[in-house]
């Protein structure tokens, strides 16, 4: 079930009414309603994968309870290993089996021992990369003693399957979200209203920006040789807006939707379009995933402790693994490695935490230096998009070679006159609200009601006018 579908437009108010009216003051009944709704939501794609979700949930719930019953470190490590093997094993099988099998066979062929491997026709379960990491955070945090294991199977199952953020995040920490399922939520009209505003902005970014950038990006990168380098460069920029509008739009809808039910999810995007360097970009982009890799991969490797070479190693491992998380392709790992190389000069010079606050605080416009930094960061990120879009490394190198040809100085050939004002609206709204949680938070709170409702009406009108006739899945569903 897609957030941008008629099905969800009917599903959400029904669940909302059942939750607050039928659920009443019973915590167990409310959690059961959310669990049933979440399984219905997930099963709307393919009911067969509900068993996979339930199995992962059962394993981690049992692991947590077993950890509570023993103080022996060896047994606790063995239990954690069970959780890691089951969850990462399922993820590896469904997402990476064919890739590693093919690479294994190719390696033997290179050594003069040709072999064939079976290729399985595997359907990737929607959201498996997200809910796997969410359940793992629970097992790891229980093992570390950061939280007590859950004793309520319904609340735990609802935490794992919570439909607003189940299939594309934010990837919540158990320490933040699970306790919210253990306490009775009270309806807060102000939070629910703000959630509706955030959902509206997320829908605008998805339906109006992302879905209307996508056809131009596809047209250029499906046949980049036929276009000038400047057109390829502009398409790479539009791809960045497509992914940002799509992924951050999903997060906005998820966070806003959760507020309707009394839940607070972590922020996932903090205006990365205005980042002044790569380090700041990664602090603002897909925060739930980047902080997950920081807490559960980078820190266990040694983090920022130890000599410089060890810190460089840890950084590169995290970036390459985060690239692999996106999918079974060398292009994703190369994309991760490229961003790691971007990051290293700041790590070595100790400037990776230079920009921690919002840009241009208290000013309408950035300085020339800030604007130049934002432009430079955008260029680096757009070069990385070439790796993300390539079908294989040969395609990436061919595209990069074409990108740096003399036709880079020609006029781009993308003709989309209606798209540019919408993009300008995106940048303007997010720039105005860059020190707030989302673009409509400030506009919704500080502007007089005629202006507020004019903005809401304009966004609704744009969504209706520019919505594609077909339902377009969210980009990160494929990961």
Catalytic positions, please? 326
Q: In terms of C-beta distances under 8 Å and separation of at least 24 residues, what long-range contacts does 94-97 make, across chains too? A: 94/122, 94/123, 94/124, 94/125, 94/128, 95/124, 95/128, 95/129, 95/327, 95/328, 96/328, 97/122
Evaluate whether 56 touches 87 at the Cβ level (below 8 Å). yes
Q: Which of 278, 276, 251, 275 is nearest to 265 (CA)?
A: 251
3-state helix, strand, coil in the chain (%, to 5): 70, 0, 30
Question: What are the backbone angles phi and psi of residue 119, rounded to the nearest 5°?
Answer: -110, 120
Using the 8-state DSSP alphabet, how is residue 149 labeled? P
C-beta neighbour count of 107 within 10 angstroms: 11
Alpha helices (runs of H) in 125-228, residue ranges in sequence order = 128-144, 153-161, 174-181, 189-203, 211-221
Contacts of 103 (CB under 8 A, 6+ apart): none
End-to-end CA distance of the chain: 16
């Amino acid at each position: 079930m897609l957030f941008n579908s008629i099905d969800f437009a009917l599903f959400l108010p029904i669940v909302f009414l059942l939750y607050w009216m039928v659920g009443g003051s019973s915590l167990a009944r409310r959690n059961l309603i959310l669990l049933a709704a979440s399984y219905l939501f997930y099963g709307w794609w393919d009911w067969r994968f509900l068993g996979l979700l339930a199995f992962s949930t059962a394993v981690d719930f049992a692991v947590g309870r077993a950890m509570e019953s023993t103080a022996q470190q060896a047994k606790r490590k063995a239990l954690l290993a069970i959780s890691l093997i089951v969850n990462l094993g399922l993820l590896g099988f469904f997402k990476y089996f064919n890739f590693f099998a093919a690479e294994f066979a190719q390696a033997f062929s290179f050594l003069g021992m040709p072999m064939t491997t079976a290729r399985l026709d595997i359907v990737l379960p929607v959201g498996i990369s997200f809910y796997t990491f969410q359940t793992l955070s629970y097992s790891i945090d229980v093992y570390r003693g950061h939280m007590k294991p859950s004793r309520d199977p319904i609340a735990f199952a609802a935490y794992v399957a919570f439909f607003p953020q189940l299939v594309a995040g934010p990837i919540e920490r158990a320490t933040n979200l699970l306790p919210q399922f253990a306490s009775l939520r009270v309806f807060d009209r102000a939070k629910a209203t703000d959630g509706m505003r955030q959902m509206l902005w997320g829908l605008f970014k998805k339906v109006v920006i992302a879905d209307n950038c996508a056809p131009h990006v596809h047209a250029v990168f499906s046949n980049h040789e036929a276009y000038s380098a400047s057109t390829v460069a502009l398409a790479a920029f539009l791809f960045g807006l497509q992914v940002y509008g799509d992924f951050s739009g999903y997060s906005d809808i998820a966070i806003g939707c959760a507020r309707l039910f009394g839940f607070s999810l972590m922020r996932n995007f903090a205006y990365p379009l205005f980042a002044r360097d790569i380090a700041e970009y990664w602090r603002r982009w897909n925060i739930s995933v980047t902080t997950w890799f920081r807490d559960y991969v980078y820190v266990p490797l040694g983090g920022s402790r130890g000599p410089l070479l060890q810190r460089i190693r840890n950084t590169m491992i995290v970036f390459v693994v985060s690239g692999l998380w996106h999918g079974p392709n060398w292009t994703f790992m190369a994309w991760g490695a490229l961003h790691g190389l971007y990051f290293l000069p700041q790590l070595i010079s100790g400037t990776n935490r230079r920009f921690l606050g919002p840009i241009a605080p208290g000013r309408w416009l950035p300085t020339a230096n800030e604007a130049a930094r934002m432009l430079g960061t955008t260029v680096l990120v757009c070069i990385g998009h070439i790796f993300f879009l390539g079908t294989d490394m040969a395609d990436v190198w061919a595209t990069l070679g074409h990108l740096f040809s003399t036709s880079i100085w020609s006029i781009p050939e993308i003709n989309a006159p209606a798209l540019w004002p919408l993009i300008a609206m995106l940048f303007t709204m997010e720039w105005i609200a860059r020190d707030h949680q989302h673009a409509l938070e400030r506009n919704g709170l500080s502007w007089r009601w005629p202006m507020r409702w004019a903005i809401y009406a304009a966004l609704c009108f744009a969504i209706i006018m520019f919505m594609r006739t077909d339902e377009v899945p969210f980009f990160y569903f494929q990961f």
